[in-house]
Structure 1
Amino acid sequence: MVPWPPSIRASGPGGRRSSAFAHKDLEAATGPRGPASTDHLVQNCGTRHARTARSETEPSDRGATTHWEGEPMRSEEEAPVAEELIDSIGHGRFELYRDGVLVGWLYYTHLKPNRYALRHTEVESSHQHQGVAGAMVRRVLDEIRAREGTITVICPFVADYLSRTTAYADLIDARHPGYPDRAAAESARAKVGGSA
């Protein structure tokens, strides 16, 4: 039996939240004694941590004290990974790290006044087909937006990514937009004879 409140792990931009902070979140969502059912906990807290049960010695539903039987948390290999985007100015690329390991990078050229020509995306072979490139492009575009910059799209993967969403249309430089889709970017790359 796990005493109320169950400990909760949560990670966010600042890393793991303390159990005291998570305790207040859980109590605010479920009340000081906990929810009446697991569904309520899952709906309000987004965890799959606890289920309710009444001990045999407790009275019926009227005034019964609810306690928690803990389910094991997800194993570490299933835990959300910590991602960090680094602007490696010396290499001319944004680098994505997952749990401290370099998993992908996006080469760029920083042009004046504040335009980024996104040239080429690469992912470590051991991390391919894990959503690294898409996550990296999204993080890079968010970073450029935070810097109030614009982009010129040269990389075929970035062109393809942007062709499927309008969320970043405001970042595309009006005078120098680059390629509108993957086919145009790959065609241009083939004419030049290679990659960046």
Structure 2
Amino acid sequence: MTEPTSYASEYPEGRNTLSEDQAVLVDEVIDDPHASAFDFTVVNDERAGIYEAILGDREIAGLPYTVAGRDRLVLLATSVFPEYRKQGIATELIRRVLDDVRARGKTVTIMCPVVRTFIEHNPEYTDLIDPEHPGVAKGHR
């Protein structure tokens, strides 16, 4: 079992540790920065406020968000169904979400430590972080 990781105070709902599920996804982002072996589609359900990873006719992962103003998304919490973890799904989902955010000319506030870790390991996305509202301070152990 993975030990929870402590983080700075800017964590949603007053929590300051990663859940075991989040720790698994953080490890995936750190250990396997390559694309997923699965060919999945990412759909932005703007009405529900979630980017969904779809494989066939099944949702396998998601990254919910809220809209803050006209130009900023608050990325909340990456999740991947257990049977699809450790296969690069989280990494590729985050990459595609951030590419979409860039294409739409928006910035992000990061409340998800998995997304923060991804950006720390892929600094070409750092410019997407809103300087006034960056979100969580740290994403990895």
TM-score (norm 1): 0.50
8 Å Cα contact 1:121-1:133 kept in structure 2:
yes
2:109 is matched by which residue type in structure 1?
T
The gaps in structure 2 that reach 5 residues or longer are: 1-36
The gaps in structure 1 that reach 5 residues or longer are: 1-79, 185-196
Question: What is the CA–CA distance in structure 2 between the aligned matches of 1:169 and 1:143, rounded to whole Å?
Answer: 14
Which of these residues, 112, 118, 122, is aligned with residue 165 of structure 1?
Answer: 122
Count of residues in correspondence between the two structures: 105
Shift of 1:101: 2.6
Match of 2:93 in 1: 136
1:161-181 C-alpha deviation (Å, 9 max, x unpaired): 111121101101111111232
1:158 is matched by which residue type in structure 2?
V
RMSD, aligned α-carbons = 1.8
8 Å Cα contact 1:107-1:119 kept in structure 2:
yes
Question: What is the CA–CA distance in structure 2 between the aligned matches of 1:164 and 1:81, rounded to whole Å?
Answer: 22
Q: Per the alignment, in what secondary structure is the counterpart of residue 66 of structure 2?
A: strand
- What percentage of aligned pairs have identical amino acids? 31
1:54-89 C-alpha deviation (Å, 9 max, x unpaired): xxxxxxxxxxxxxxxxxxxxxxxxxx6432111112
Which of these residues, 85, 106, 109, is aligned with residue 63 of structure 2?
Answer: 106
Q: Which runs of 4+ in 1 moved over 3 A?
A: none
Question: What is the CA–CA distance in structure 1 between the aligned matches of 2:56 and 2:39, rounded to whole Å?
Answer: 5
Larger Rg: 1
2:50 is matched by which residue type in structure 1?
R
Match of 2:138 in 1: 181
Question: What is the CA–CA distance in structure 2 between the aligned matches of 1:95 and 1:123, rounded to whole Å?
Answer: 10
Question: What is the CA–CA distance in structure 2 between the aligned matches of 1:125 and 1:153, rounded to whole Å?
Answer: 23
